[in-house]
Amino acid sequence: MKTRFSVTACAAWAACVPSAAQAHLVDTRLGDFYGGALHPLSGFEFILPWLALAILAALQGAKNGRWVFLIFPLGLMIGAELSAVVPDLTFVPLLNVIATASVGLLVALGMALPLPLFVLLSAVLALVGGYQNGQAMAVDTNHLLFIGGVTAIGYGFIALTSALMLAFLDGRGGWRPIALRAGGSWIAAVAIMVLGFELARVIHAG
């Protein structure tokens, strides 16, 4: 009886516990690349400014907007490495929120910017985004792989999203730019509230 009870319990456990079998154990080789690629997707504070920038790039048109394909990944790389060289820049999260609110407002206004200003905004958002994601690197993290992951996902996201938005704008109907501008106002609204939250926290801490 005792044996049968034990065997039944073991069988029940064996039936209930197993998880999915992994054919490719990424942790053993390229784990840090995937860590870098997935980190920007772990919070709205990383992905929201990228979305705003992609919409802004589409609103600039293909000729000016395509500069973001060069500036953005470069900025992400430099920003992520900067986080290892100069860690603990406390103003970066606040700068990220201010930049997001600014880009969101520019999208809401539907403004076509002078190219240097657009490039500057892209560079700031990329550097800040790279820096914030780079802060997730630990001592034993392979920087090259992690930064490669962040840069790859950043490039993929900005390229695909801005191209999608541009194609969306090319369609029929005057409501399309309005829909994108409404999206910009939503992003700006979120960023303004988070800015208020961060400032209130700083004031209360002080």
Partner 1 sequence: MDHSALFKRHGRSATTIATLVVLMSAGPAFAHTGGDVIFGFWSGFLHPITGLDHLVAMVAVGLWGAQLGNPAIWVLPITFPLVMALGGVLGISGVVIPYPEVVIAASAIALGLAVAFRITPPLWIAAVLVGVFAIFHGYAHGMELPGAADPVGFGVGFVTATGLLHLCGIAIGTLTRWPIGGRVVQACGAAIGCVGVFFLYSL
Q: Does the protein bind partner 1 through residue 91 (CB under 8 A)?
A: no
Which of 31, 45, 89, 142 is the binder for partner 1 (CB under 8 A)? Answer: 45
Which of 36, 39, 99, 122 is the binder for partner 1 (CB under 8 A)? Answer: 39
Considering beta carbons, is residue 43 or 114 the nearer one to partner 1? Answer: 43
Burial 99-130 (b: 16+ CB within 10 A, else e): bbbbbbbbbbeeeeeeeeebbebbbbbbbbbb
In the complex, least distance from residue 163 CB atom to partner 1, rounded to whole angstroms: 23
3-state secondary structure of 3: helix
Q: Does the protein bind partner 1 through residue 9 (CB under 8 A)?
A: yes
Cβ-Cβ contacts under 8 Å for 192 (sequence gap 6 or more): 101
From CA 54, how far away is CA 74, in angstroms rounded? 16
For 138, which DSSP code? -
Closest CA to 99 of 192, 27, 8: 192
Q: Which of residues 120-159 bind partner 1 (CB under 8 A)?
A: 136
Q: Does the protein bind partner 1 through residue 48 (CB under 8 A)?
A: yes
DSSP of 83-132, one letter per residue?
A: HHHS---TTHHHHHHHHHHHHHHHHHHTPPPPHHHHHHHHHHHHHHHHHH
The residue range among 40-48, 67-75, 141-149, 152-160 that interacts with partner 1, by the rule CB under 8 A, is 40-48
For 74, which DSSP code? H
Which of 6, 29, 87, 117 is the binder for partner 1 (CB under 8 A)? Answer: 6
From CA 64, how far away is CA 200, in angstroms rounded? 38
In the complex, least distance from residue 193 CB atom to partner 1, rounded to whole angstroms: 4
Considering beta carbons, is residue 2 or 24 the nearer one to partner 1? Answer: 2
Which of 57, 77, 99, 108 is the binder for partner 1 (CB under 8 A)? Answer: 108
Q: Does the protein bind partner 1 through residue 202 (CB under 8 A)?
A: no
Considering beta carbons, is residue 156 or 197 the nearer one to partner 1? Answer: 197
Q: Residues interacting with partner 1, by CB under 8 A?
A: 1-2, 5-6, 9-10, 13, 17, 19, 39, 42-45, 48, 105, 108, 136, 175, 178, 181-182, 185-186, 188-190, 192-197, 199-200, 203
